Amino acid sequence: MSMPGTAIVTGGGAGIGRAISLRLSRSGYKVIVVDLKEDMANETVQLVEEAGGQGDAYVLDITDGREVEKFFLSVSQVECLVNNAGSFSVKPFTELTVDDFRSMYEVNLVAMFDLTQKAAFRMPEGGAIINIASRAMLGAKQYIHYSSSKAAVVGFTKSLALELADKGITVNAVAPGVIETDMLKSRSDTDLDALRSIQPMGKLGSVDDIAGAVNFLSSDEARFITGQVLLVDGGRSLGGATSI
């Protein structure tokens, strides 16, 4: 059996991106960890290598088109792209500005398009593109700009799946619910116990839950799945009363 090849994971320096990088490495991918922070990217690569895998770190601002182009000069072929890097902020509708929307879309959609287009040119038949969306695509208070951008990611995913289907490249999205990351724990506006209390399963998700979903969609087992959004949220998106 041949090795899976090369996987690029954006935002791979911490949290969900780091877990994805480690999981894909265990499946045999050589992982290129792309992140804004050099020390974090290097740390992920170190963990990959300590676990017996292969990895490279690359420092990149994904919104800088020239730097993205330069990055891809060093990548001749890529079998898997995970668009995990993203921007998030909390701001009520009454305080949002057009610049808030522009900056959110610049990272969460425009940069994703740029990376994906360049990767697709280097992707063989059987390649996989996985975009990280969010359960917030269904709507959420206090971050309309973020929710809108993630809903756009879903539209992008479905449309691109049709564009690349005849090339044998699958395009899917994973939409995490509330995932217990260091970033979430550090937020002053977050009450973890309150969040757990409204989850149907009574717990929050882990980064490994998302990594497992991404790994599945990158594998041969998912070769006939494309244009889909996999909600990984412990059933929270189903709604329903928590008590009668």
Q: Catalytic amino acids? A: 146
Instruction: Report the distance separating Cα 77 and Cα 32, nearest Å.
Output: 12
* Residues 79, 123 contacting (CB under 8 angstroms): yes
- For residue 21, which of 56, 61, 65 has the smallest C-alpha distance? 56
DSSP-assigned letter for residue 51? T
SS in 3 state form for 131-166?
A: EECCHHHHCCCCCHHHHHHHHHHHHHHHHHHHHHHH
Q: What phi and psi values does residue 50 have, to the nearest 5 degrees?
A: -65, -25
Which tokens in the block code for residue 36? 């804004």
- For residue 62, which of 18, 118, 15, 145 has the smallest C-alpha distance? 118
* Residues 175, 229 contacting (CB under 8 angstroms): yes
